A = this chain, B = another copy of it.
Amino acid sequence: MATSGSIRILIVDDHPVVRDGIRGMLAADPSFAVVGEAADGEAAVRLATEIRPDVVLMDLRMPVMDGATATGRIVGDGLSRVVVLTTYDTDADIVRAVEAGASGYVLKDAPREEVFRAIRAAAAVKAVLAPEIAHRLMARVRTPTGQPLSEREMDVLRLVARGTTNAGIAAELRVSEATVKSHLVHAFRKLNVPDRTSAVIALLKRGDLSLDEVTVPGDGQPG
């Protein structure tokens, strides 16, 4: 793969504008050849299986199947190498994607040379980083302060983000209110925040929580 000829690339992004952007950008260098486009993770896996590109340029936030999951499938099956191309540096899914075997990640506002470099590196590199090493590498980049929250703590905070009271959360999760408060206090300590509002903000900034997955009462959900 990608020995002498051009590097065969699959573009995965749910925005046509961005797909065209990458395509146009890559057209500047004849050593790149775009061999396909996909608008979601599921289509990406399907196409990667079919056409076996050298490198997949993968967006993270997509409908149907997110980029991190798709990365796991593609790299896991040894189909292609994956370079994550994302908008936000503060996206917790970056860690997931790299742990799933992504060869690297580039921000969308990076200069095009950087994108080129990442693609060439991914195509040329012999061995992909082992997940444990990748994890350690990423640890420096992301999560500057912040221990990971437990599953249950996240459950509680997801409901907090929807404006649910402790009593409501207890009912929803079928535990006592004491348990909810216990989870909250632990989460506050881990996040280094004083209250629930700050906790939600902190999670949003870390990328552990997405605005899309919370619904507040006064919410007409346009679109």
A117 beta carbon closer than 8 Å to chain B: no
- Please give me the residue from chain B that is nearest to A90 by CB atom: B222
Contact B160 A220 (CB under 8 A): no
The quantity of this chain's copies bound in the complex is 2
* Count of A interface residues, CB-CB < 8 Å: 56
Alpha-carbon distance A75/B135, docked complex (angstroms): 49
Q: Which residues in B have their C-beta under 8 angstroms from that of A89? A: 222-223
Alpha-carbon distance A200/B199, docked complex (angstroms): 12
Chain A residues 3-58 with CB under 8 Å of chain B are 14-25, 27
Contact B197 A217 (CB under 8 A): no
Q: Which residues in B have their C-beta under 8 angstroms from that of A193? A: 163, 216-218
Q: Select A204's contact among B21, B23, B111, B211, beta carbons within 8 Å.
A: B211
Interface residues of A (CB under 8 A from B): 14-25, 27, 85, 87, 89-90, 108-112, 115, 141-142, 144-146, 160-163, 165, 191-198, 200-202, 204-205, 211, 214, 216-223
